[in-house]
Amino acid sequence: MWRACPGNRKARHVVRGEAMKKVQFNTPAVPYLLLFPQLAIVAVFFLWPAAEAVRSSFYLEDPFGFGSTFVGFDNFVDTVTSTNYGRVARFTGVFTFLVTILSLGAALLLAVKADKVLRGASSYKTLLMWVYAVAPPVAGLIGILLFDQHVGPIVKFVALLGWHLQIGVDYYDTAFAMIVASVWKQIPVNFIFFLSGLQSISKSVQEAASIDCRSGFRRFWTVTFPLLAPTGFFLLIINITYAMFDTFGIIDVVLKTEPGNNPVTLVYKVYLDGFRGNDLGGSSAQSVLLMIVVFILTIIQFRLIERRVHYT
Amino acid sequence: MAYRKTVASLVAAAALLGTSSASYAATDITWWHAMGGKLGEVVNQISTDYNDSQDACSLTPVYKGGYEDTLTAGIAAFRAGEQPNIIQVFDAGAATIIGAKGAVVPVEDLLKANDVPFNIEDYIAGVRYFYADSDGKMIGMPFNSSAPILYINDDAMKKAGVEAPKTYEEFEAITPKLKEAGYIPFVQSHLPWEFVENFKSRHNLQFATNNNGYEGATGTELVFGEPIKNHFKAAKKWLDEGLFGYYGTGWADNQQPFNEGKVALWIGSSGSFGGIADTVDFPFSATFLPYWESVEGANKASFIGGAALFAMSGKSDEENKCVASFFEYLTTPEVQYMWHKETGYVPITEAAYALAKKDGHYERTPAAEVGIQQLSLPGGEWTKGYRMGFYVQIRDVMNRELGKVFSGEASVDEAFATIKADGDKLLARFAKTIDN
């Protein structure tokens, strides 16, 4: 007989511990002193460069630094009106979405399955995790070997299916390779977090749920998944950041630093224009735009999504 | 025991170090370059030979990665006041470093100030003015100079029963036979350099306003006429008919099928010669970069490619003297001939070319002479070179848009319209950075 499965609400056992004891320092200087190293690092490695980027985004400067002219918003106008910028921004959006969804989805599936494995569980988990230790450029390198136009086994395999895959020539083929390499690289991180999230769900909740509901699939969506939400939310942020910024190494290796007619992300374009093209003003304007995007994204994440996440 | 030995050797090393630094106070100069692999070994060899040839100066070569990396590293170092004495800058970066007034000491001034005889006529015609200013003063010392030339798989020619083409018209006549013989008839390796810049030079066509950009950055704009568009329309047709192979922007991706013996004709650099000779197992030869006979006044010299050495400013007279002395050493016929023979880059002086001929180098390896012969072809109004800022990005735009032509995303006319629009915008931005 079909039985109603528990809804989200019922599954949430909010266990509150004792209110935390208040600890206070005797002198007000100590906490600041303890905070200082962290604040110093933030100031030196984030605030200062960010301020510098904002400043130089309003100037046009010759690469050697002999003179710079204040140009107001010219750099921003030039950036936004260039035909290519829109194309790069669109690709970055699609790329970030696909890499995030695919790496989260695949990792969740693998974690749920790994959680159920009884025999040989540790070797199975290790196999899934070791990719985590691979550095992004190495992941990119493995990727381009597999996808190489002349010797790549993946290229030879899909050729049998009638797909003439050409990295570096066809825009979409290159995008495909970048996404595959980026997702592959990110799955282990997500897997580790999802697995530990799954293992921290108390057995009693799961047993109660399995008495209430026979369908494992429904049980997953109504009980397990909501309990995983804090982990999932954390991973969502991490993965979006990863896809937008940390995939730089993979993209660089896949492109062999020759952008050509290949997809690039916004971050990679900042690098290309700034470090390869020596256009500091234009590159700074792009990074300021990117900062604004990240800022908006962070607000959205914490305002809209986190509200729906319940921490136990 | 082991411990004692270590201590003993450490003491000995320290003693040696002490004596060597005390015995002569040589002026140290550094040279940042972009020559990796085999080329880097030859650079190190030249440096060692130079250091052994005299006592006053000690040169340290430092490999800084690719051309773009080296230039960027040099710029960053200059801004931090820690620039090297000598930096190698490639053709596409020349406008950046020459445009920044005060970043370098013009090589002509440097040599004259240090009593090193200098006569621009000693250099082969093709290299004289590429790294010069609008008055013809040499700013950078040409170093690794190359030309795009056509490499020929001799087996393929024999199998198809054809002769290597001199013009694209001849080429069109033989490609079907090469295809029938089982080869990819034709591959290039660098669209901006081989199909745009040197297309302009070989056909004596204007590349940019302001005398190809030499007369100042302000108002410089790209110029694309019918001949180059027709060339790309033809190339797209060849690609669709399987007569031309395109493997993306990466040089190596395009060279590999030739090395594997699958390609009949490949446009590479004269500097590729040494590498190919070591790699391929089929007989090969080389000839000039083809041209369209239908374009009036074609078959002119090509632009000099490769890179030049620049003496960076802000250094002491003593160090500059050493730089001048190294440049003098570097341009001696013997050193130039050695560099030419080992790498395939062309010798930059007439005397070195004469020495290579006298030594019978070209009788042993005729392909080695093709580059310098092509650079010595008659020049025209537009074969001196080009001077455009942010040119690395302009090349990236070309690669992007011309790549779209070959992948079918854009027509040739659309691609050139975008290259001109984006390129002109970059040129205008560059003009603002230096003319202020």
Q: DSSP letters of B62-87?
A: EE-SSHHHHHHHHHHHHHTT---SEE
Q: Residues B200-227: what's their mean pLDDT?
A: 94
Q: How far apart are CA A203 and CA A199, in angstroms?
A: 9
Phi, psi angles (nearest 5°) of residue B72: -65, -40
Span between the terminal Cα atoms of chain B, in Å: 69
Judging contacts by C-beta atoms under 8 Å, the chain B residues touching residue A59 are none
- Token code pair at residue B219: 């108002």
At B371, give phi and psi (nearest 5°): -60, -50
Q: Which of A64, A171, A278 sits opposite B407 (nearest CB)?
A: A171
CA–CA dist B75, B313 (Å, integer): 12
Contact criterion met (CB < 8 Å) for B390 and A279: yes
Q: What is the mean pLDDT of residues B8-20?
A: 49
Q: What is the pLDDT of residue A312?
A: 60
Which tokens in the block code for residue A50? 């960010």
Token pair for residue B256?
């590999």
pLDDT at B370 over 50: yes
Question: Is A309 exposed, middle or buried (CB count within 10 Å of its CB: 0-12, 13-18, 19+)?
Answer: middle
Please give the angle made by the CA atoms of B362, B366 and B368, to the nearest 5 degrees: 80
d(CA B59, CA B27): 8
Between A61-70, B5-14, B325-334, the lowest mean confidence (pLDDT) is in B5-14
The phi and psi torsions of B310 (rounded to 5 degrees) equal: -115, 140
The whole-number average pLDDT for the span A284-307 is 87
For chain B, say whether A276 makes contact (Cβ under 8 Å).
yes
Query: In terms of residues, how long is chain A?
Result: 312
Given pLDDT bands bounded at 50, 70 and 90, which one contains residue B277? confident
Which among B246, B393, B425 has the least Cβ separation from residue A169?
B246
Please give the domain boundaries of chain B with CATH numbers for all domains.
Answer: 27-145+304-368 (3.40.190.10), 148-302+389-434 (3.40.190.10)
Contact A273, A283 (CB under 8 A): yes
Q: CA distances (Å), B329 to each of A240, B48, B87, B109, in order?
A: 56, 12, 17, 17
What is the per-residue DSSP string for B90-142?
A: EGGGHHHHHHSTTSEE-HHHHHHHTT----GGGB-GGGTTTTB-TT--B-SEE
**pLDDT digits over B290-300, tens only?**
999 999 989 99
Residues B94-111, mean pLDDT to the nearest whole number: 91
- Which two three-digit tokens encode residue B324? 């001048």
Answer yes or no: are the C-beta atoms of B274 and B341 closer than 8 Å. Answer: no
Residues of chain A contacting B314 with CB distance shorter than 8 Å? none
On whether the CB atoms of residues B344 and B270 are closer than 8 A, the answer is: yes
Q: Which residue of B has its CA nearest to A166?
A: B247
Q: B402: nearest CA in chain A?
A: A261
Task: Name which of A61, A167, A269, A278 to mutate to probe chain B: the one with the most chain B Cβ atoms within 10 A of its Cβ.
Answer: A278
Q: Can you give the pLDDT at residue B5?
A: 52
- pLDDT computed for residue B16 by the predictor: 47
Residue A180 has a CB neighbour count (10 Å cut-off) of 17
Half-sphere exposure in the Cβ direction for A111 (13 Å, CA) = 27
Closest CA to B217 of B34, B65, B433, B422: B433
Of B400, B406, B432, the CB nearest to A259: B400
Question: For A213-249, how does the pLDDT look when each residue is reduced to its tens digit (9 = 90+)?
Answer: 878 888 888 888 888 888 888 899 899 999 999 999 8
A183-242 residues touching B, CB cutoff 8 A: none
SS (H, E, C) chain A: CCCCCCCHHHHCCCCCCCCCCCCCCCCCHHHHHHHHHHHHHHHHHHHHHHHHHHHHCCEEECCCCCCEEECCCHHHHHHHHCHHHHHHHHHHHHHHHHHHHHHHHHHHHHHHHHHHCCCCHHHHHHHHHHHHHCCHHHHHHHHHHHHCCCCCHHHHHHHHCCCCCCCCCCHHHHHHHHHHHHHHHHHHHHHHHHHHHHHCCCHHHHHHHHHHCCCHHHHHHHHHHHHHHHHHHHHHHHHHHHHHHHCHHHHHHHHCCCCCCCCCCHHHHHHHHHHHCCCHHHHHHHHHHHHHHHHHHHHHHHHHHHHHCCCC
A130: tokens are: 């070791």
Confidence band, pLDDT 50/70/90 cuts, at residue A123: confident
Find the closest chain A residue to B191 by CA distance: A260
Please answer whether residues B349 and B336 qualify as being in contact, where contact means their C-beta atoms are separated by less than 8 angstroms.
yes
Can you tell me the mean pLDDT for A251-255? 88
- The CA distances from residue B370 to B227, B283, B365, B382, in Å, are 25, 16, 10, 21
Helices (H), B270-390: 273-279, 317-330, 333-343, 350-358, 361-364, 370-375
Are A229 and A310 in contact, with CB atoms under 8 Å apart?
A: yes
CB contacts < 8 Å between A and B, how many?
A: 127
Q: Which residue has the higher pLDDT, A312 or B357?
A: B357
For residue B390, the chain A residue with the least C-alpha distance is A277
* CA-based nearest distance B400→chain A, Å: 4
Is the pLDDT reported for residue B11 higher than 60?
no
Beta strands B27-33; B86-90: pairing state? parallel
pLDDT digits (tens, 9 = 90+) for B149-195: 999 999 999 999 999 999 999 999 999 999 999 999 999 999 999 99
CA distances from B428 to B103, B213, B371, B392, B394 (A): 21, 12, 34, 15, 12
Predicted pLDDT of residue B3: 52
Residues of A in contact with B418 (CB under 8 A): 83
- pLDDT bucket at A266, cuts 50 / 70 / 90: very high
Output the pLDDT for position B427. 94
Cα angle: B379, vertex B381, B384; to 5 degrees: 60
The CATH superfamily holding the domain A89-308 is MetI-like (1.10.3720.10)
pLDDT for residue B124 is more than 70: yes
Q: Which tens digit of pLDDT belongs to each residue from B230-269?
A: 999 999 999 999 999 999 998 989 999 999 999 999 999 9
Q: Are B298 and B291 in contact (CB under 8 A)?
A: yes
Question: What's the CA dihedral at A164, A166, A169, A172 to 10 degrees?
Answer: 80
Question: In the structure encoding, which two tokens stand for residue B388, read together?
Answer: 């455009």
Q: Is the pLDDT of residue A258 over 70?
A: yes
**CA atoms A303, A305, A308, A310: torsion sign:** negative
Contact B101 A66 (CB under 8 A): yes
- Note whether B243 and B183 are within 8 A (CB): no
- Give percent above pLDDT 90 in chain B: 73
What pLDDT is attached to residue A55?
Answer: 93
Cβ neighbors of B104 (< 8 A, separation 6 or more) are B97, B98, B139, B140, B310, B311, B312, B313
| Chain B residues in contact with A170 (beta carbon < 8 A) | 407
Residue B254 CB partners (closer than 8 Å, separation 6+): B187, B188, B189, B190, B245, B246, B247, B248, B266
- Judged against a pLDDT cut of 60, whether residue A290 lies above it is answered with yes
What tens digit of pLDDT does each residue of B375-404 get? Answer: 989 988 999 889 999 999 999 999 999 999
Name the least confident of A64-78, A98-112, B15-29.
B15-29
Residue B249 buriedness (CB in 10 A; 0-12 / 13-18 / 19+): buried
The per-residue pLDDT for B17 is: 47
Average pLDDT, chain B: 90
pLDDT of B49-100, one tens digit each? 999 999 999 999 999 998 988 999 999 999 999 999 999 999 989 988 998 8
SS3 label, residue B226: helix
- Asked if B284 and B223 touch (Cβ cutoff 8 Å), the reply is no
Nearest CA in chain B to A167: B248
Mean pLDDT across B392-417: 94
In order of B16, B40, B426, the CA distances from B62 in angstroms are 24, 9, 31
pLDDT of residue A166: 86
- Residue B179 has what pLDDT? 95
Burial A272-299, CB ≥16 within 10 A → b, else e = bbbbbbbbbbbbbbbbbbbeeeeeeeee
Classify residue A21 by burial, with Cβ atoms within 10 Å: 0-12, 13-18, 19+: exposed
Q: State how far the Cα of A156 lies from the Cα of B221, in Å rounded to an integer.
A: 44
Question: Cα(B308)–Cα(B139) distance, rounded to whole angstroms?
Answer: 9
Q: How many C-beta atoms lie closer than 10 Å to residue B158's C-beta?
A: 11
Q: Is A86 on the interface with B (CB under 8 A)?
A: no
Least confident window among A35-39, A120-124, B14-18: B14-18
Cβ contact (<8 Å) for B406 and A169?
yes
> A83 and B421 in contact by Cβ < 8 A?
yes
**Mutation target among B249, B414, B427, B435 for the A interface, most CBs of A within 10 A:** B249
Token pair, residue B30, equals 């550094």
ipTM over 0.90: no
DSSP B376: T
**Separation in Å, CA of B392 to nearest CA in chain A:** 6
Does the beta-carbon distance from B393 to A260 stay under 8 Å? no
Residues of A in contact with B248 (CB under 8 A): 149, 166-169, 258, 260, 262
pLDDT band at B435 (very low <50, low <70, confident <90, very high): low
Length of chain B: 436
How wide is the angle at C-alpha A148 spanned by C-alphas A143 and A151, nearest 5°? 125
